Amino acid sequence: MKNASIKLQSILQPKLVLSYKPLFLALIAAMTSQLSFAGESAANKEAVTNIDLPTVAVTGNPLGLDADQLIVPVTVLNGRELSLKRESTLGETLNGIPGVSSTSFGPNASRPVIRGLDAERVRIMQNGVGVVDASSLSFDHAVSVDPLVIEQVDVIRGPAALLYGGSAVGGVVNAVDHRIPTEKLEGITGRTEARLGGPANESNMAGVVDVGNGQIAIHADAYARKSNDLTIPGFAVSNRKALADVILQTNNGTLRNSSATSDGGALGASLTFDNGYLGASYSGFNSNYGTVAEQNVRIDMKSQRWDIASEFTDLGNIVNRVKFRLAHTDYQHQEIDAGIVGTTFKNSGIEGSLEAGHTKIGNMSGVVGLQFQNTTFAALGEEAFVPSTNSQSKALYLYEELPIEQFKFSLGGRTEYTTVDAGAWAKNPSAQNASFNPTSYALGGLYAFTPNWTLASNISHNERAPSYFELYADGAHLATGQYELGNSRFGKERSNGIDAQIRWKDGKNSFSAGPYYTKFSSFIGLLNTGNFVTVNDQQLPVAQFNEVAASFKGFEAEGKFNLHDNLDLKLTGDYVRAANLSSGEALPRIAPLRLGAGLQYQKNSLGARLNVLHAFAQERIASNELATNGYTNLSALVTYKLPTKVNVELFAKANNLLNQDIRDSASFLKDIAPQGARSVMIGVRSDF
């Protein structure tokens, strides 16, 4: 079942939000009130268990294979598993997946970090089209995707630039919400979810509805969330920072200015056919939250997005499939200091792709695609540290797979033309123009030793055009507490990478593990210069974007083993080591070695989980960076399915049961904003 989502946002005008919220609340109340207890026998209850279906990754999978048949390493979260893992941000939802950490700028702004790479090197997408916001510009800018209404998240670790652009050199995170229905539907389906509690005393709810008559499918979703300031287990400022800066520790027990409110919704519809669909959707996203680093500053964020998508299969003897996607986004956020708007960031643009799959040539299958993007960014106000810019790109890509007995080979290439043009501004009266021709290619292979064992490996060469802020930044960036300088003379960022995975699967048991290595001949990094500049009577360290040689190497592993009919053991582990080869120093904000284990019990309607994740101390740090202590996060989950005709599940989540001072070394705010204290969250979810 593929649901689409409709957010409670002013669907036609912002002023309509208040009138739609009561309707949304009434809808959820009506759904829950219709639940009737069936008084099923124990045998029937045992039949109402989770059905394991093949996991299909949408991202990095142009040929529609099951996830375990892909050559690239992919993790898919969907259905009940995603629902139970949801956090307030996309980054925190994915944090802990092998190879994935998060930037954690407080509880409201967090981007995923993949294999030590963040910002422009991790491509965040929504339904296969890039998210247009300002989250890669600054760590305090939230991603304009709320986890409450997404139905699936695909995470590709490692270079995925062939299908999604040079900015995907670290990997891809694709949030799938099914707001444009892709399959025929007769009747009505949907889900609701509500939560209360946690370290920020959250209250949130979401509803998704899909209705169809076999020819037309309509999707609607809505959500709303609210949270207070985060409760923390001790002082906001770490002991290390207090000693290094000779400052007093304050804010004991509360992370000030970390509260948030947000809501949104979407409406979509499709014409569905036997061999495809044609649809469109509108969605809105609103969020207002404190920035943590600045005690009196809040961000008021709004985004509106219009999508068109279509796909048709079984078309002919040459081209057998065509897929088209297009999205237009209007994004704006204002940074409000003590009630006064200080800086306004705007980003609007269009992105799309047209992809065609060909019939088999011998035994070879593949696709060719065209991708295009045109976005305009503007920053207005006292903290505008980058000029207004227009970024455009046009790309052509090719991907082919050839199976030969136990082997499967993949080959791909991508070439694009990118321009990044900056308008004149006070710090540079002359307009600046830059153009690049990145080219990337990759070769992959998968060998099946036995029906249970496979070995997969990928080698790639990737090129990335610098972003607008890497080229043109010049000003005080108060969220990160430094003065940032770009370099308009940058060339392309270049890297070569290799990874390998050994995979095993036997019934309910599975295991995968493998190393990776990526070497950059020209890595564009924001590095501290050791110099200072005075801005408005405040002394700020100067950080400059520089080209350096760099390497990222590491290891990832995860496994699931059935110990008993109702009991599973899960093991995870990851490690990344990143070095500035030009200086011999470590690169900043790199996650340490992490090891995790968990027990999962499920029998009839009752489920329970106990998980422990230990992150070791990170003492291999860059200059002007503080080391990070290790921590152990012990968490638990209990679920219970009610004996109703409609699938209703109650759950309770406990996190940081040891009440440890958890600081993520990948976070820019690790020394002034720890994770939440010991907490419990309760919730209810239903599918119908």
Helix or strand or coil: residue 194? strand
Any domain includes 1: no
Q: Does pLDDT of 476 surpass 90? A: no
Q: What are 588-597's pLDDT values in tens digits?
A: 999 999 999 9
CATH of the domain at 123: 2.40.170.20
Question: Higher confidence at residue 209 or residue 292?
Answer: 209
3-class secondary structure for 508-532? CEEEEEEEEEEEEEEEEEEEEEEEE
Nearest of 577, 590, 579 to residue 548 by alpha carbon = 579
Q: Does pLDDT of 447 surpass 70? A: yes
| Percent residues over pLDDT 90 in the chain | 71
What's the average model confidence in pLDDT over 51-65?
61
Helix or strand or coil: residue 85? helix
User: What confidence tier does 70 reach under pLDDT thresholds 50, 70, 90?
Assistant: confident
Query: For residue 483, what is the DSSP state?
Result: E
What's the average model confidence in pLDDT over 619-638?
94
What's the average model confidence in pLDDT over 331-348?
92
Nearest of 103, 87, 104, 108 to residue 170 by alpha carbon = 103
- Ranked by mean pLDDT, the top range of 5-19, 475-489, 558-572 is 558-572
What's the average model confidence in pLDDT over 210-220?
96
User: What confidence tier does 9 reach under pLDDT thresholds 50, 70, 90?
Assistant: very low
User: For position 64, what pLDDT does the model report?
Assistant: 67
- Count other C-beta atoms under 10 Å from residue 492's C-beta: 19
- Count other C-beta atoms under 10 Å from residue 6's C-beta: 31
Tokens of 489: 């003379």
Q: Does pLDDT of 50 surpass 50? A: no
Query: For residue 94, what is the DSSP state?
Result: H
**Four-residue CA torsion sign, 195, 196, 200, 204:** positive
Contact 661, 633 (CB under 8 A): no
User: For position 43, what pLDDT does the model report?
Assistant: 35
User: For position 530, what pLDDT does the model report?
Assistant: 83
Any domain includes 345: yes
Q: Does pLDDT of 23 surpass 60? A: no
Q: What are 122-154's pLDDT values in tens digits?
A: 999 999 999 999 988 888 899 999 999 999 999
Helix or strand or coil: residue 80? helix
CA angle 326, 330, 332 (to 5 degrees): 150
Contact 550, 170 (CB under 8 A): no
Any domain includes 437: yes
Any domain includes 190: yes
> What would the DSSP string read from start to end of 8-40?
-S-SS-GGGHHHHHHHHHHHHHHHHHT--B---
Nearest of 372, 458, 377, 369 to residue 414 by alpha carbon = 369
Any domain includes 2: no
The H or E element spanning position 243 is: helix 239-245
Any domain includes 157: yes
**Four-residue CA torsion sign, 526, 101, 60, 573:** positive
Of the listed ranges 3-12, 77-86, 303-312, the least confidently predicted one is 3-12
Contacts of 370 (CB under 8 A, 6+ apart): 353, 354, 355, 394, 395, 396
Any domain includes 7: no
Question: Higher confidence at residue 547 or residue 68?
Answer: 547
What's the average model confidence in pLDDT over 669-683?
94
Any domain includes 166: yes
CA angle 584, 586, 587 (to 5 degrees): 120
CA distance 569 to 547: 44
Task: Give me the domain span that covers residue 434.
Answer: 14-687
Note the residue count of the chain: 688
Q: Does pLDDT of 47 surpass 90? A: no
Q: Does pLDDT of 598 surpass 70? A: yes
User: For position 60, what pLDDT does the model report?
Assistant: 61
What's the average model confidence in pLDDT over 547-567?
96
Question: Higher confidence at residue 91 or residue 252?
Answer: 91
Provide the number of structural domains found in the chain: 1
Which strands make up the sheet holding 129-130, listed edge to edge? Answer: 74-78, 152-157, 171-176, 122-126, 129-130
Nearest of 480, 486, 484 to residue 468 by alpha carbon = 486
CA angle 597, 603, 608 (to 5 degrees): 40
Query: Average model confidence (pLDDT) for the chain?
Result: 88
